[in-house]
Amino acid sequence: MRQYIASRGDTVSRIAALHGLTPEHVIQGNPWVGRQSYLYPGQVLFLPSSPRKRYAVQEGDDLERITSLFNVSLDDLEKLNPAVTSGRCCTPGKVLVIPPSIPERIVSLRGEYGPVDVENDIRSLIAQYPFIQAHPIGSSVLGKPIHVLKIGNGTRHLHVNAALHANEWLTSPCLMSFIEEYAAAYAKGLAWNGHRPEEWYNNWTLWAVPMANPDGVELVQEGVLPGHPYYADLMKWNGGRRSFRHWKANIRGVDLGDQFPAHWEEERERRGVMLPSPRDYSGPEALSEPEAAALAALAEEAPGEAAVSLHSQGGEIYWNYRGYEPPESRELATRLAAASSYRAVELSGSDAGYKDWFIQTFRKPGFTVELGIGKNPLPLADFEDMALETGLILGTILSNVK
């Protein structure tokens, strides 16, 4: 057993990923973790030794096959298996200790995906793919930057945002993963799931805001401690509960999904929530929150041909708004549903969302996509499927030449 002292930002999943463990390993050594909503800085955890992966050499194996099979470097294999390069390692039946795999992609989950992960991955993506541009379009209530990534030089603009709702944060790495796969395929001149990224790049400019509500995401993932500027308010708005995993709003208790000036007053009356809350409070007025205002300003600065707001969950695509949508919206929604195996849903009785405002303002196709199935926050194990579905939906729009 090793001791580990928790720091700010630590979660069970993040600690497990850092040390090559599973969350269950961490909880097994620290049973109290399973009964506590969050870790606190200074708490001491006992971590078991990282279990090593092992492999029994098979007939016909050589070093190239073994390193390729497990995606490891020869140097790392040598460190755990001295003299491996001598050739004696390839005797059938010999058991080798396998080092951790080389990360295949920049965007991956190492526990919960939060604002710090977005910042780090943006830096890495820009370094790897210089044709990606990024800059802040504003700041959250607590001053965290709200980043947009821009890729492509086409005359048609597509706006995409994720994690408008705090406990739907898994949409963020899904969007970031698509950007990486798009960039990698474009850089190598390769097709992507039947699409041609070179045509995307030449025809469209993609504006992607991967985490529209960074304060809320951090709250859901890490909780809040005394000393936080909104500690007393948050505990009151949350009914005294220490767990914020159900929280959708921003740090001021405003639901950003109800913040846009599209029949905002009617949505406020329908919701009937007049004070800060974990969800459904539309704020004192439309666009009162800096996060929502930043998204609206970006869309107005570069008017788009289409927009997508990524949410979770339900496996559905909402495409209409009070008849303001253009005629092509229905047919395009049907194509998006076919690509992703989701359902295209004609929605009524809902206002003040980003999609609603975009359709009403620009009279262009706008979509709310409910990624995945289950209960928010969705499990990390759903990430790869949701990321692919995100890409198939966005790729279908970018391949639309009408």
Return d(Cα 255, Cα 221) in angstroms, integer: 17
> Does position 93 have pLDDT exceeding 80, yes or no?
yes
Q: What one-character-per-residue DSSP string does 302-330 give? A: S--SEEEEEEESSSEEE---TT-S-THHH
Mean pLDDT for 285-305 is 98
Return d(Cα 330, Cα 183) in angstroms, integer: 29
Q: Length of the chain, please? A: 402
Report the chain's mean pLDDT, rounded to a whole number.
Answer: 95
For residue 40, count CB atoms less than 10 angstroms from its CB and return exposed for 0-12, middle for 13-18, buried for 19 or more: exposed
Show the tokens assigned to 331.
Answer: 């047919």
Return d(Cα 103, Cα 121) in angstroms, integer: 13
Residue 370 annotated in active site:
yes
- What top-level class would CATH report for the domain 2-47? alpha beta
Pick the CATH number of 115-216+287-398 from 1.10.150.120, 3.40.630.10, 3.20.20.70, 3.30.530.20: 3.40.630.10
pLDDT recorded at residue 87: 65
On whether the CB atoms of residues 169 and 217 are closer than 8 A, the answer is: yes
> Does position 20 have pLDDT exceeding 90, yes or no?
no
Q: What is the CATH number of domain 53-98?
A: 3.10.350.10
Return d(Cα 249, Cα 161) in angstroms, integer: 16
Looking up tokens 């559905």, which residue turns up?
316
> Does position 249 have pLDDT exceeding 70, yes or no?
yes
* Percent of the chain predicted with pLDDT > 90: 85
A 10 A CB-CB count for 76 gives 16
pLDDT digits (tens, 9 = 90+) for 23-80: 999 999 999 998 888 999 999 999 988 778 899 999 989 889 999 999 998 888 988 8
pLDDT recorded at residue 209: 98
Closest CA to 69 of 93, 87, 96: 96
- Topology agreement, domain 2-47 and domain 53-98: yes
Return d(Cα 132, Cα 117) in angstroms, integer: 17
Q: 3-state class of 54 per DSSP?
A: strand
Residue 263: phi, psi to the nearest 5? 50, 45
Q: What one-character-per-residue DSSP string does 375-400 give? A: SSSPPGGGHHHHHHHHHHHHHHHHT-
The catalytically annotated residue of 180, 181, 325, 370 is: 370
Return d(Cα 360, Cα 321) in angstroms, integer: 7
pLDDT digits (tens, 9 = 90+) for 182-239: 999 999 999 999 999 999 999 999 999 999 999 999 999 999 999 999 999 999 999 9
**Residues linked to residue 161 through DSSP beta bridges, in sequence order:** 209, 309
On whether the CB atoms of residues 141 and 250 are closer than 8 A, the answer is: yes
Q: What residue segments make up the domains of the chain, in order of their start?
A: 2-47, 53-98, 115-216+287-398
Mean pLDDT for 114-141 is 98
Q: What one-character-per-residue DSSP string does 204-255 give? A: EEEEEES-S-HHHHHHHHH---TTSTTHHHHHHHTTT-S--TT--S-TTS--
pLDDT recorded at residue 88: 64
Return d(Cα 342, Cα 109) in angstroms, integer: 24
A 10 A CB-CB count for 392 gives 20
